[in-house]
Amino acid sequence: MSNVLITVDDLAEAMLSSRPPAVLDVRWQLGRDDGPEQYRQGHLPGAVYVDLDTELAAPAEPARGRHPLPDVADLQAAARRWGVDALAPVVVYDDNGGMSAARAWWLLRWGGVADVKILDGGVGAWRDAGMRLSKGDATPRGGTVVLAAGALPTVDVDEVDGTDSLLLDARAGERFRGEVEPVDPRPGHIPGAVSAPTSDNLIEGRFRPADELRSRFADLGVDDDRDVIVYCGSGVTAAHEIAALEHAGFTATLYPGSYSQWSSDPARDVERG
């Protein structure tokens, strides 16, 4: 289907192959803590639950943001607990259009795992296809993956400040405009950024076709000759935007600290509207 997404049928076939993927359940949403319970009530066979707050991020701190990148040694230890093997494929999913699963997709690729895909439509698509769900906790064997940071690019706050790159803000439009701000210190956005809500990458919980995404991003100013940086509130949904950009044939760089880091520094200007 693409180098980003996998369909239910293709995943079901891969699970029966001689080289089945590690399957990771990354159900998480801002303001909710019931991901583990949802997982235990029904998950893809063999899938292992991944805790975004504790396994896909370092502890929050204002100077680094709400979801700083984890230390690569910690990420490797977690990936081995999940049963991820060296040179083996990985599939990630959630129940929110890939919004949280994309964080695992991006992090594992940043750590050097080449074959990571997002299940398009997530657990809902699996269920709608009549596929079996398992309950309780899976017990994976230990994995052998070896990770090294930096296989995907990142920028820090100083590199974002005054950048000539196209800066896409993946948060909801009302947060970009500063009309609401539920979690971060100051409402608004990074000066010069363009509003590009992650939700617009989806239609009925699935990624839009690549040509539609390419047209969407082109309308926002993305082209093959300009560097693109993506941020959101804490670096989670920005990873989804990067996945959508890659599905559309573009490349982009993550600003991991995102607006939670930027807005915590009173020396950094913010814009509203």
Residues with catalytic roles: 232
Kindly give the residue spans of alpha helices, DSSP state H, lying in the chain: 8-15, 35-41, 52-55, 72-81, 101-110, 122-128, 157-160, 173-176, 210-219, 237-247, 258-262
Residue ranges of the alpha helices (H) in 42-143? Answer: 52-55, 72-81, 101-110, 122-128
Calpha distance 3→166 (Å, rounded):
24
Alpha-carbon 51 to chain mean position: 13
Biggest distance spanned by C-alpha atoms of the chain: 55
Q: Which residues contact 9 (CB under 8 A, 6 or more apart)?
A: 129
